[in-house]
Amino acid sequence: MQTWQRLALVALLTLSVSQAALAQQDERGAREQLDALGQEIDAMAERLSATDQARDSAQRELREVETELAQTHQRLDQLQAERRQLADETSQLRQHRERLEGERDAQYAALGQQLAALYRLGPTPQLKLLLNQSDPAELDRMQAYLNRLTQARQQRLTDIARLDTALADTELALAERQTRLDTLADELETQSALLAERTEERRGVVTTLDDRYGSEADRLADLNQSREQAEQQLRAIQAELARLAEPTPTTHITRTQGDLPWPVQGAITASFQRQDGVHYNGIVIQAGAGTAVTAVHSGRVVFADWMRGFGNLLIIDHGDQIMTLHAHLQQFSARPGQQVNRGDEIGRIGNTGGQASPALYFEVRRGGEPINPQRWIARR
């Protein structure tokens, strides 16, 4: 290779390394920007949550009890998940203990055979060999056999000691996990009792709210008023997002219009802008309480809190001024500032906000204005 060719090759390699380094720096910079955006959104959500949307005492009480219910559901889920993990670990430890005991029994059996062989040679086999063997080569061979037998016996004893230690450690780990399982059982019982208490308390609050309506018209008027207050809060969220130093990056959600998955499977019980005394900016999907609600597209959670008219409400910003709203959740599975991907669980179906039955209220908004969700999710 000529000199100029070598120089060109070196220059090309240097350029490639530099480009790779720059790409890594760009990737790190992008990750840092996304992390900073998540922190900024988290702080924004805290400011928005500080705004009291429950104007009267009954609504404030409903907010408090439904927030506590959500926390209790989340704590129960955490406890049950930990219990399942501990139960799996306990099962694995028991299997490990059985393997160790089997291995130790095999070592004991092998050691017994070695000791029986030594016993047959008598109490002083080396002396017998010296007195009975006239052939030096045979004497060396038998001595080597005895040495190997002694080494094997010592190795067996070492292995048995190691297995005894491992078994003791396994028993200790099993005892620790059993203690933790017993503690979890007690806490689960306590949390379950608290859940029943809070559920009954919520029922009383909802009854109080319903009793104050003189007619169905009064109830619908209050509901629409709650929705108007919620709209003010949603406009505040939109304004906060517009003031972010770095807007949420595009997720190309507009390319998936008409092909988005359903956030939960169920029957639609109220359609977009259905006129039956209540103005809907989204759709209501009925599903069983506790059913997982999933993100229809990647994005970042910008709000997860209780809001009058919506109950527990979670909002995802997908970039390109598109947001999805998920209301009446039993509990949250994602927090403000968190990046979520399509199909990730973000909450569970509930009836918060004073609803009579569990369902998901789902909205899609562009530039803060509601648009028909059924034009975005896939046909069934």
pLDDT in tens, 104-147: 888 778 777 767 766 665 555 554 555 455 555 555 565 565 56
Question: Which residues contact residue 124 at a Cβ distance below 8 angstroms, ignoring those fewer than 6 apart?
Answer: none
State residue 230's pLDDT score.
76
Report the domain count for the chain. 2
pLDDT bin (cut points 50, 70, 90) of residue 205 is confident
As a whole number, the mean pLDDT across the chain is 78
Quote the CA–CA distance of 162 and 204 in Å, as a whole number: 63
**Residue that finishes a domain, picked among 208, 238, 259:** 208
Task: Dump pLDDT digits (tens) for 327-376.
Answer: 999 999 999 889 999 999 999 999 998 888 999 999 999 988 899 999 99
- Pair 313, 201 in one domain: no
- Pair 199, 226 in one domain: no
Q: Which two tokens stand for residue 258?
A: 């008409």
Question: What is the average pLDDT across 226-252?
Answer: 78
Cβ proximity of 65 and 201 under 8 Å: yes
- Pair 270, 304 in one domain: yes
- Pair 132, 169 in one domain: yes
- Pair 137, 269 in one domain: no
Is residue 126 one of the residues assigned to a domain? Answer: yes
- Pair 320, 349 in one domain: yes
Cβ proximity of 230 and 308 under 8 Å: yes
The three-class DSSP label of residue 309 is coil
- Pair 364, 230 in one domain: yes
State residue 137's pLDDT score.
57
Provide, rounded to the nearest whole percent, the portion of the chain with pLDDT above 70.
70
- Pair 340, 368 in one domain: yes
State residue 23's pLDDT score.
44
Question: Which residues contact residue 79 at a Cβ distance below 8 angstroms, ignoring those fewer than 6 apart?
Answer: 184, 187, 188, 191
Question: What is the average pLDDT across 304-326?
Answer: 91
Is residue 36 one of the residues assigned to a domain? Answer: no
Query: What is the CATH classification number for the domain harbouring 360?
Result: 2.70.70.10
**Residue that finishes a domain, picked among 208, 238, 268:** 208
Cβ proximity of 245 and 40 under 8 Å: yes
- Pair 338, 253 in one domain: yes
Domain of residue 351: give its range. 218-375
Is residue 187 one of the residues assigned to a domain? Answer: yes
Evaluate the CA torsion angle 182, 187, 190, 191 in order and state its sign.
negative
Helix segments in the chain, DSSP class H:
3-49, 57-120, 125-132, 136-211, 216-242
State residue 56's pLDDT score.
65
Is residue 335 one of the residues assigned to a domain? Answer: yes
Quote the CA–CA distance of 171 and 179 in Å, as a whole number: 12
- Pair 267, 286 in one domain: yes
Is residue 353 one of the residues assigned to a domain? Answer: yes
Quote the CA–CA distance of 192 and 95 in Å, as a whole number: 32
- Pair 186, 88 in one domain: yes
Beta pairing partners, 361: 284, 327
Is residue 149 one of the residues assigned to a domain? Answer: yes
- Pair 89, 130 in one domain: yes
Is residue 49 one of the residues assigned to a domain? Answer: no
**Residue that finishes a domain, picked among 208, 229, 244:** 208
Cβ proximity of 293 and 374 under 8 Å: no
Is residue 4 one of the residues assigned to a domain? Answer: no
Cβ proximity of 247 and 367 under 8 Å: no
Provide, rounded to the nearest whole percent, the portion of the chain with pLDDT above 90.
21
Quote the CA–CA distance of 24 and 183 in Å, as a whole number: 47
When mean pLDDT is compared across 232-241, 303-312, 363-372, the lowest value belongs to 232-241
pLDDT bin (cut points 50, 70, 90) of residue 22 is very low
For residue 380, the number of C-alpha atoms closer than 13 Å in the C-beta half-sphere is 10
